[in-house]
Amino acid sequence: MTLKELITGGTGRTVILGAICYQIATKNMKDSRAARAIKPYYEKYREAVETETAVGVPDDVVFGPILYFQYLCACGALVKVDGSPEYEQAIGEYFDHPREQVRYWAEHVLEIEGRLVASCRQLAVS
């Protein structure tokens, strides 16, 4: 499968995960094509999470109207691909989010062993 096929086919979620997996599999995470493939989804998801200021924090952050997980994954992929601090800072804004799940995703995407990730690991070991 070519990068173009990954970009043009499937849903946004499938495409972004497919593009990330493609780049990991080919060991080309610093390839500029990866950033070009992910950036449109980052922009789309960024616009979606910005609606939080207007509509408030939804009760359901997993299946709710705001795509936090997709946004944080896109930011995390761009941190690895692009290396720009802009995306790492964008993720960091969610470390103090009112919903624990969103805080966990932010830590996990940056591979930070924060309080939430550490507590999940501890529960898994128990």
Q: How far is CA 32 from CA 22, 37, 38, in A?
A: 13, 9, 10
The dihedral over CA atoms of 18, 20, 22, 28, expressed in degrees to the nearest 10, equals 170
**What was the pLDDT predicted at 90?**
94
- Cβ proximity of 10 and 21 under 8 Å: no
> What's the CA gap between 61 and 104, in Å, rounded?
12
**What was the pLDDT predicted at 54?**
83
The residue ranges of every structural domain in the chain are: 3-125
Tell me the per-residue pLDDT of 42-88, one tens digit each, with 9 for 90 and over.
999 899 899 887 888 888 877 777 888 889 988 988 888 888 899 99
**What was the pLDDT predicted at 61?**
79
- Cβ proximity of 119 and 101 under 8 Å: no
The distance of Cα 31 from the centroid of its chain, to the nearest Å, equals: 18
Tell me the per-residue pLDDT of 87-126, one tens digit each, with 9 for 90 and over.
999 999 999 999 888 998 898 888 887 766 566 555 565 6
